[in-house]
């Protein structure tokens, strides 16, 4: 979504929590830092350039920029936002951050490593190389479906649940379909972030994506229009 605030000039990537906190809706937005905005009706929004809630971190996967992904989700432990980050090599990966329910500007925990990063051929090579970019998230029948862009050329779908430890990749390009099954490389060793144990906290979405118990990627190659 953009331009979010025309008076700012360039501003984009609004991610709105669809329930009120302290009587107001909140929106995280931006594609360098992440800012917060407030609204009582989801139409009229109030923000400030001083209201930065998340910044890039030197030495991490999000050292150059951070940008919201899908709409945030309200959990028992806080407001969970899946976000996109880029490093100094313009390599885009997906991370997460947990904000306080009482103060949605306050960070409780934040991923130290990406939950999704460019590793596959079609995530590394394309119109813009080395990009995975989360855009949409839905929950169906106990599974989380995370849609993301890959190399600005393809659309990927990552599905997380708690049943297997394999990755199934279905590549679709015209009439040819190829299925590959591999073992995930993600581990549980980084579950504790900033002294917050995600297993204990019950942040179900972040945990499912971090563990990567089952990841299914569906690749839809989009033909450019002539």
Positions in the chain whose pLDDT score sits under 70: 1-2, 162-226
β 143-150/154-160 pair status? antiparallel
- Asked if 35 and 47 count as a contact pair (C-beta separation under 8 A), the reply is yes
pLDDT at 8: 85
- Asked if 62 and 85 count as a contact pair (C-beta separation under 8 A), the reply is yes
pLDDT at 203: 41
The fold for domain 56-221 equals Tachylectin-2; Chain A (2.115.10)
pLDDT at 2: 62
Which structure tokens are listed for 17? 């929590």
pLDDT at 226: 46
pLDDT at 1: 56
What is the C-alpha to C-alpha distance for residues 203 and 200, in angstroms, rounded to an integer? 8
**Cα separations in angstroms, 34 against 49, 63, 176:** 10, 13, 40
Q: Is 9 left (phi over 0), alpha (psi -120 to 50) or beta?
A: left
């Amino acid at each position: 979504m953009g331009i979010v605030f025309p008076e700012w000039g360039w501003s984009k990537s609004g991610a709105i929590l669809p329930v009120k906190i302290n009587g107001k809706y909140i929106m995280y937005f931006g594609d360098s830092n992440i800012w917060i905005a407030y609204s009582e009706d989801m139409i009229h929004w109030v923000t400030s350039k001083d209201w930065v809630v998340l910044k890039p971190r030197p030495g991490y996967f999000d050292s150059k920029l951070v940008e919201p992904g899908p709409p945030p989700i309200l959990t028992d432990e806080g407001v969970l936002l899946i976000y996109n980050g880029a490093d100094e090599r313009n390599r885009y990966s997906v991370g997460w951050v947990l904000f306080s329910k009482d103060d949605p500007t306050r960070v409780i925990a934040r991923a130290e490593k990406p939950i999704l990063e460019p590793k596959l051929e079609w995530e590394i090579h394309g119109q813009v190389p080395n990009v995975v970019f989360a855009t949409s998230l839905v929950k169906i029948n106990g599974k989380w479906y995370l849609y993301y862009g890959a190399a600005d050329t393809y659309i990927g779908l990552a599905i997380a649940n708690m049943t297997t430890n394999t990755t199934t990749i279905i590549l679709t390009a015209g009439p040819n379909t190829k299925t590959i099954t591999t073992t995930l490389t993600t581990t549980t060793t980084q579950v504790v972030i900033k002294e917050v144990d995600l297993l204990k906290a019950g942040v179900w979405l972040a945990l499912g994506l971090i563990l990567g118990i089952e990841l299914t990627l569906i690749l839809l190659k989009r033909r450019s229009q002539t």
